[in-house]
Each structure stands twice: as structure tokens, then as C-alpha cells.
């Protein structure tokens, strides 16, 4: 009887040990499976993190690209404005240079007009035969002055019987002459001069009403 109980106890212990071993094995397998799942989760988390960083980097690069493109457009616009300003400056400078060359004789010609006026007053003086040589000499110098002025583009205005133009003429007197049209210049009191297409002295005139 005692031996039977002993055997039963032994069998029960063996069953318990087998049961415990099985439980331990299941536990180990569960732990192993858990570790594998954890590794997979960690790997997936890393991939997702790398993907997130890549998206952030892309957005950053996109913003930098847009900023650079905007800066390039601004630089292009500035370049176009600078080119336009330079082109205007070049044209203005060229125009001024041409005008300077065109009218470079203006200052000297204006000063010489008073000399020409004095010559003309002198030549209006009546002289006798004894002074004719002197008179001819003065007239020759006067003609040389006129030729020098003409060589620089200075010309005397032709005003008699021309319509009055306030841009060319300076009216100091008026008269009524029914034989002539209104606003017609009837007399020249002082000669006017043009330097090419520019008035350097308006003609002083009498105008018909």
C-alpha cells in the first residue's frame, strides 16, 4: 500500500515536471515571439522615422528652391532696370554730345553779333572818295566775319514780308498798311540770326496790324 502511494506520488511529480517544462517552453517561445515582434516594430518605426525625415528634408529643400527662384527673379528685374537706366543714360549722353557739337559755336557767335552790328553801322556811313579805300577794307573784314559765321552754321534770318512768328521775331512796332496782309513783317530793325535750327538772336521787327 505504501509502495503504491509512493509510485503514485512519483508519477504525479513527473506529470507536474512535464507540465512545468511545457509551460516553460511555451513561455520561452512566447518571449521569443515577442522579441521578434518588438524587433519588427522597431525596424518599422525606424523606417517610418527615416521616411518622415526625408519628407521634412524635401519640404525644406523645396522652400529653399522657391526662395532662390524668387531671388533670381528679383536679380533679373534689377538687371533689366539697370540695363534700361544705362541705355537711357547712354542715349541722353549721346544726345547731349551731339547737341554740344552742333551748337559749340553758339557762345562765340553770340559775342560776335555785336561786332557785326557795329560793322554794319559803320558801313552805313557815307564816305567821300578819299575814304573809299578805308571803307572797302572795313567791308572786306565784315564779309570775312560773315563767312566765318556761315562756316559754323550761323545764318541771317530773312524776315521782310514774312508772317510774324514769336519764336523767331521780336515785334517792337506796329503799323497799318492796307496794301499788306495783317501780321506781316514790314520792316527789320535789327537782324536776327540762326545757328543751324536754333535761334541765337530773334529779329527785331515792325509788324503790320
Residue ranges per structural domain of the chain: 24-102, 103-208
CATH number of the domain at 103-208, out of 2.60.40.10, 2.30.22.10, 3.40.50.720, 3.40.190.10?
Answer: 2.30.22.10
How much is the pLDDT for 159?
93
Cell of 130: 578819299
How much is the pLDDT for 89?
85
More confident of the two residues 98 and 43: 98
User: Contact, 188 vs 205, CB < 8 A?
Assistant: yes
User: Contact, 133 vs 103, CB < 8 A?
Assistant: no
**Which residue(s) pair with 84 in the sheet?**
none
Cell of 169: 521775331
The reported pTM is: 0.54
Residue 155 — pLDDT band, cuts 50, 70, 90? very high
Residue 81 has pLDDT above 80, yes or no: yes
Residue 62 — pLDDT band, cuts 50, 70, 90? confident
What is the tens place of the pLDDT at every residue in 98-153?
A: 777 777 788 888 888 999 999 998 888 887 888 888 888 989 999 998 999 999 89
DSSP 202: P
What is the tens place of the pLDDT at every residue in 171-194?
A: 999 998 888 889 999 999 999 999
How much is the pLDDT for 10?
46
Based on its alpha-carbon atoms, the radius of gyration of the chain, rounded to whole angstroms, reads 57
How much is the pLDDT for 200?
92
Amino acid at each position: 500500500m505504501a509502495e503504491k502511494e509512493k509510485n503514485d506520488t512519483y508519477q504525479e511529480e513527473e506529470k507536474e515536471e512535464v507540465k512545468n517544462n511545457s509551460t516553460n517552453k511555451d513561455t520561452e517561445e512566447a518571449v521569443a515571439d515577442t522579441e521578434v515582434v518588438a524587433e519588427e516594430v522597431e525596424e518599422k518605426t525606424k523606417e517610418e522615422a527615416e521616411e518622415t525625415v526625408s519628407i521634412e528634408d524635401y519640404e525644406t529643400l523645396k522652400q529653399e528652391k522657391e526662395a532662390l527662384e524668387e531671388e533670381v527673379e528679383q536679380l533679373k528685374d534689377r538687371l533689366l532696370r539697370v540695363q534700361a537706366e544705362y541705355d537711357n543714360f547712354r542715349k541722353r549722353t549721346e544726345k547731349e554730345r551731339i547737341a554740344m557739337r552742333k551748337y559749340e559755336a553758339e557762345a562765340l557767335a553770340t559775342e560776335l553779333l555785336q561786332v557785326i552790328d557795329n560793322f554794319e553801322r559803320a558801313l552805313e556811313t557815307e564816305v567821300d572818295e578819299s575814304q573809299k579805300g578805308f571803307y572797302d577794307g572795313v567791308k572786306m573784314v565784315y564779309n570775312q566775319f560773315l563767312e566765318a559765321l556761315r562756316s559754323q552754321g550761323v545764318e541771317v534770318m530773312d524776315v521782310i514780308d514774312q508772317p510774324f512768328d514769336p519764336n523767331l521775331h521780336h515785334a517792337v512796332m506796329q503799323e497799318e498798311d492796307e496794301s499788306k496782309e495783317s501780321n506781316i513783317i514790314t520792316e527789320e530793325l535789327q537782324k536776327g540770326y540762326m545757328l543751324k535750327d536754333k535761334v541765337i538772336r530773334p529779329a527785331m521787327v515792325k509788324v503790320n496790324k
